[in-house]
A and B are shown apart, each in its own frame.
Chain A
Amino acid sequence: MEPKSRLNQPNGIFSLLLAAVSIGLLYGRLAVLYAPALPATQPETADKTSPTEKTARRREDAELFDQALNAGLLRPDSGGRIAVAPADLPVRQRWASDHPDLLAPQSDDEPDWLDGAWDDEVSRLHRALHFSASGRYVRQQIEDFNVRRPEFPHIQRRDGRLVWRDRL
């Protein structure tokens, strides 16, 4: 047992230390936040960035759009619109193998979403597309594109490919 007299002493030094460390840490963080922004990157340094690094720095919506397009969760149709995989595709995939008689009939103009690949990565992308903030944004932009194409500046068609352009 520590000496009782020591335990009975007010935690003055400890409190002062705690206050000093807390104030110091907060001051340091605020000083960084309040510091003027660094000047923009010089062109010559930007040019040195490798393509891999550029990909790694892409925004989440651009990344999700490209990945979902490659995975077949976004499909351009013959009319130039983009179809989005339905929200219940995971259940449809399971039902196709477990209860095919309980699949609802599809309409003629709907793509056959069950013909694409389905694995953990596609499942993760599907979840992101339907149940994340960036997925909601991507779907909203696709709705706008379907109404306004080809004037819609955010998604454009280049060389037969759909290209996502970040908004500034």
Chain B
Amino acid sequence: MLKTFRIGGIHPKEYKISAGKAIQPIAIPDQVIVPLSQHIGAPCQPIVKKGDVVKTGTLIGKTVGFVSANIHSPVSGTVLKIDKALDASGYRRDAVYIKVEGDEWEESIDRSKTLVKECILSPKEILEKIAAAGIVGMGGATFPTHVKLTPPPGTKAEVLIVNAVECEPYLTSDHQLMMEKTEEILVSIAIVMKAINTRKAIIGIENNKRDAIEKFTQAAKAYSNIEVVALKVQYPQGGEKQLIDALLKRQVPSGALPVSVGAIVQNVGTMFAIYEAVQKNKPLIERVVTVTGKNMKNPCNVLSRLGIPVSVLIDAAGGLPESTGKVVSGGPMMGKALASTDIPVTKGTSGILIIPTLEAKRKSMKDCIRCAKCVNVCPMGLNPSLLMNLTEYEIWDRAEKNSITDCIECGSCSYTCPADRPLLDYIRLGKGKVNGIIRARKK
């Protein structure tokens, strides 16, 4: 029996139609827009101004505080302006507009393809390099990686978990990256194990990626203490807490960090970025993006510089079909619907999903029939139907008591509801409200 997490879960149709498509680089357009907030935490402070000439890899945004991540220019050219730009959050936020001129890289970056296995840096130096390169969780959460790799004093990770689950339907960017950059990822795992001083690493891969499981199982033999585990296909297994439960049979308590059960989880795309940062001095300026959708002519995996408008990527996949109803950044379960195709690719853009008109609109909601299917699928063991009602009637104390803040917003409840009730919409709202109340109480 394949391992999986123990509470709830769903299995949506996979639609991994871009699987096996080799990663193609995207040609750089004339202008890029680089948002200064591409991560969870404080937005960066811009350190360039209008007219400044930048190279590919030049630092353009510096961190403010510990929970933040540097931003580098993904292209070479001239800074046009620093202005508001619409991003995937739906807000207009500060971004650096750069006019592209050629593609000249910072000299410190090693652009060769040769695999660099040796790493003589100390753990501290490794972490500093990761922080300097502006690496964040690339599975979509975009939490600064150096923060995650620095557990609070008194805690220690016994095991590094590499999240190669890619449980979202449609997305294949991690899968393809694993097929093409197997060795680099394994080197990176060894580096991170050294940085956080752990003896053991586990790579969790869902069983719908048999080729990747085989490739990694073979390649990992050359490394010590790296184990590859095939997992049953089950959403949301890529959720940090779910993955730890699936692999270690340990459940992170409510409100605690994964390191409290001895684990640190990193996405496989993040691992590759760490390899490039530590071994090649390359900051995070590009990423693999799956561009896909049922009606797309050429669903594919592309390597895109950050800051390129998603419309350029969509064109590479055959252009926007007439039947387009919705453009989503990320997967269909947790991705964000974009208000415009001018929005740029950022560090967290794992995929661009084009949803046809027919599927884009929700059905009207019916009265709850209390079938409890939402309760059965909730991976956190919550009662979504109750939480929705409590939010609707603004009964915050009971919402808090019923652990609304534990919700990981995976959307399994809304996905499942036979009465088409927007459970997660309400719960998200209630969660924000209750979190606010808790913060106010602590002050």
Question: Does B associate with A?
Answer: no
Q: Which residues of B contact A (CB under 8 A)?
A: none
